[in-house]
Structure 1
């Protein structure tokens, strides 16, 4: 869930909890609103935490001349901190 999804759930939950004034048999609309707001807050916190986590990548390129053949040789390597999600 992204930050936008969390904000959307908070807004829909607030509308159901505070602005809607009707009843459905066997369903508490206000409780559903509170549950959606809690899920939105949790999604918002997770979205911010994942956004704040940075992935650093180190890229190295080395160029040299092969002493045997005289050709130019380029080596490239990339190192990262963690898995890409």
Structure 2
């Protein structure tokens, strides 16, 4: 789950939550506004997690151990 997936989920969630698009027959199975807000929350969480993971990856230190024979 990267930043791109989070943005896509956020946009799709806002489309459903704000009733920009209504799919006929969808309200019989699931409330589109509730589904939209769930997708917004998941998208925001995905963005936050991606940023945290990228920050941790950048702080990793790599230690190189080199041994030489000085005889």
TM-score range (shorter-chain normalised) is 0.7 to 0.9
2:63 pairs with one of 58, 62, 67: 58
Consecutive aligned runs of 4 or more in structure 1 exceeding 4 Å deviation: none
Which structure carries more helix by proportion? 2
1:40 aligns with 2:43: yes
Which residue matches 1:6?
A: 6
Following superposition, the deviation at residue 47 of structure 1 comes to: 0.6
Following superposition, the deviation at residue 31 of structure 1 comes to: 0.9
1:31 pairs with one of 9, 27, 34: 34
Equivalent residues, number: 66
Which residue matches 2:21?
A: 20
Following superposition, the deviation at residue 6 of structure 1 comes to: 0.8
Q: Tell me the TM-score normalized by structure 1.
A: 0.68
Which structure carries more strand by proportion? 1
Following superposition, the deviation at residue 60 of structure 1 comes to: 1.9
Q: Which has the higher contact order (CA 8 A, sep 6+)?
A: 2
* TM-align CA RMSD: 1.6
